[in-house]
Chains A and B, each alone.
Chain A
Amino acid sequence: MTLPIIYIDAELPSMPRSSRTTQPFWQALAEGRFLLQQCKGCGSLRFPPGAICQSCPEGEAKWIEVCGKGTLYALTTVHVGPPPLMRDGPYTRAIVDLNEGVRLIAEWHGDPETPFDAAVELIVSRYNNGCLFGARSVPSK
C-alpha cells in the first residue's frame, strides 16, 4: 500500500506543524503511508486528524491506512500566490475525494487540464525539509 514518493529538491516554505495528535500522520506520510483516523465511538473517518470526533462524544480514534485511490473533484492553477510558493511559477492544486469518502486538498502532479471525476492516486512529495501530499492521474496500464 506504499504511496509513490516524489523527491523535490526545494524547501517547503510553510511547514505543517506536528502535534501529539497529528505526529503519527506526518511520520507515516514520510514513510509513504497515508493514515486516516477512525472514531472508536461511531466509526466515522476523520481528516484532518483531531482530538475530537465531529459526530459523537468519543475522543479516541484508531489509525487506519488507506491505499490513496480516489477521484478528482476540481483543479485550480494559482498564478498569484504567496511569493515563496511562486519560485517555480504557477502551481496547481487539487480537491481529491478518496474512495473511503474523505475529501482533501493536494498538490497536483500532472496536466492542469485533466478532466474532473478522473481516477487519481495520492503521492508523497518529499521536500528537503519535510513532506506534503499530492495527487496524480492513475497511470494507464
Chain B
Amino acid sequence: MPALRKVAIVGAAAKPPGRWAPIEHDGDALFELDVLGPLVIQALAEAGLDRSAVDTAAFVTPSPSTRQLGFSTYMAARLGLRCKGSVSEVSALGVSGGLAFDQALADIALGRADAALVLGISYQTNAPLPLIMDNSVRAVGDVDFQSPFGLTPISWYAFDAARYMHETGVTREQIAQVAVKSRSHAITNELAQFRKPLTLEEVLAQRMIVSPLGLFEVPSVADGAICLVLTSEDAARASGKPYVTITGRGYYHEGYHQIGGRPHDMTAFPAATLAARAALDDAGLSLGDINLAELYAPCTITEVLVSEAIGFCEQGKGALDVVTGATSVGGRIPINTSGGCLSRGHPPSLTALYGMLELRQQLLGRCGERQVKDARLAMHCCELGNYNAALIHVLEGPQ
C-alpha cells in the first residue's frame, strides 16, 4: 500500500441553516437537487475544478422526510459525476457529517481519489413535529426500555445540565452565557441562522423546554445544505489557490448509548477526551497549540462539558470561562466562532460540515470582525448521542 497522502480542503459552499424546506406539491418549491446542485458547482468553481475531476462523493444520509431514496447514487447521477473512488451515504447521528468527511479524506489519502466531495442536504422543518419527535426518541434510546418514557435528544443533555449543576454548584445563568456568547459570534456570520443581538435576560426569559434548559439554551430545528471539496495537498499546492490541510484525526466510542446499564459519570464525556488525545497525537501537537475550536454542541451545557472533556477548560470551569470571555473571539481559546448549534444553526447530520467550513474560513483569514488573530491550528469535534462517541479532526492553515 502506498504512503498516505496529506489532504486539503480546497472549496466550499453552503446555504445558511434555517427554515426553507419545501412544502411538497408547491409549484414554487426547491427540491434537494435544486438546492444542492448549485452549491456543488459553486464549491468546485472555488477549487478551480471541473466535476469530471471528482472521484469520490461522500453524501450525508438525508433526513427521513426526504422523498427520494437511493439518495447517493441518484444524486451522483443528477450531478453528472463519474467516480472511481466511491459514492456513499454516511450516517451515524451527529457524527454523520464527520464520518462522511472521513470517507472522502480516506479515499484521497489512500490514492483512491484525487478529488472528493463531502456533501449533504437535510430537510427538517417540513416534517410534522410528531414524526420528528417519534423518530428522535427512537434514535436516542432503547426503543423498549427508554423510548416509551419520551426522552427527546435534548432531554439527555438536560440530565447532564441538572447533574452538572448539582455536582459543581455552577448555575443555570452561568451555563446560559454560552447562548449569549454564541450569538455575539454569529452576528457577523452570514451563514448563521440567528444574528440578532441577544442578552442573558432574554435567554432566561424564554419558556422551559427540558428543565433546566429553556428555548434559547437548546437548538432550533433547521434545514441545511453544504458541499466541501477535498484534494491531495500536492494538488492543492499546484492549483495556487488557498487551502487548509487535515493534520490529525481521532475517534472513540465509549460503549454506551446515552446511559449504559451500569452507573458512570454522565457529565465526563470520556469519548471526547480520548478522541482529542488521539487526534493531537496523530498531528504531533499538544492541546496548547490549538488556536480555536468548533464543537458539536446542541445545548449550552454540551459546549461546557465538551470544552472540559477535551481540556480547553478546567473541570467545573467550562461555564465560568464563557462568563469571563475566555472562549470568545479575542479570548484564550475561541470556541464556536460560527455561533455554534445555537446561533449558526443545527441541521444535525450536517452540523459537523458547517463547523469544518467555519474553521477553514478562520484559517484562511476570511472571518472579518470575528476573525481569530493568527489562527493557524484548529480543532473540530462532532459526536453522537450524549457524546458516547466523538470524532475529532485537526486542521492547519497556511503558514
Residues of A within 8 A of B (CB): 12, 14-17, 22, 45-48, 54, 73-85, 90-91, 93, 95, 97, 101-107, 112, 115-117, 132
Contact = CB atoms under 8 A, between A and B. Distances in A.
A76 B143 contact: no
A93 B140 CA distance: 15
A101 B133 contact: no
A105 to B, nearest CB: 5
Of A74, A84, A95, A106, the most chain B CB neighbours within 10 A belong to A74
B257 to A, nearest CB: 11
A77 B266 contact: no
B152 A80 contact: yes
Interface stretch (B62-70, B155-163, B224-232): B155-163
Contact of B266 (A15, A95, A101): A95
Interface stretch (B202-210, B240-248, B322-330): B202-210
B130 A116 contact: no
Contact of A16 (B145, B160, B207, B211): B145
B141 A105 contact: yes
B314 interface: no
Interface string B141-159: 1111111111110010011
27 contacts: A12-B148, A14-B134, A14-B148, A16-B145, A48-B261, A54-B261, A73-B163, A73-B266, A74-B162, A75-B162, A76-B158, A78-B150, A78-B158, A79-B211, A80-B209, A81-B137, A82-B133, A82-B134, A93-B149, A93-B150, A93-B155, A95-B159, A101-B263, A102-B261, A117-B166, A132-B148, A132-B149
A103 B152 contact: no
A95 B159 CA distance: 8
Given A48-B145, A83-B130, A107-B149, A76 B211 contact: yes
B1 interface: no
Given A48-B261, A74-B266, A95-B266, A104 B148 contact: no
B261 A16 contact: no
Contacts, number: 114
Q: Which 3 A-B pairs have CB atoms at the shortest separation, nearest pair first?
A: A76-B158, A48-B145, A82-B133
A75 to B, nearest CB: 6
A39 to B, nearest CB: 12
Interface residues of B, number: 38
Contact of B150 (A15, A48, A74, A91): A91
A132 to B, nearest CB: 6
A116 B162 contact: yes
Contacts of B331: none
B3 interface: no
Of B145, B162, B208, the most chain A CB neighbours within 10 A belong to B145
Contacts of A54: 255, 261
B133 A83 contact: yes
B133 A77 contact: no
B197 interface: no
Contacts of A16: 143-145, 148
B262 interface: yes
Contacts of A76: 155, 158-159, 162, 210-212
B259 interface: yes
Given A48-B261, A82-B137, A93-B151, 18 more contacts: A14-B134, A22-B144, A74-B163, A75-B159, A76-B211, A77-B208, A79-B210, A80-B209, A81-B150, A82-B134, A84-B130, A93-B150, A97-B263, A103-B261, A106-B149, A107-B149, A115-B166, A116-B163
Contacts of A90: 208
A103 B14 CA distance: 42
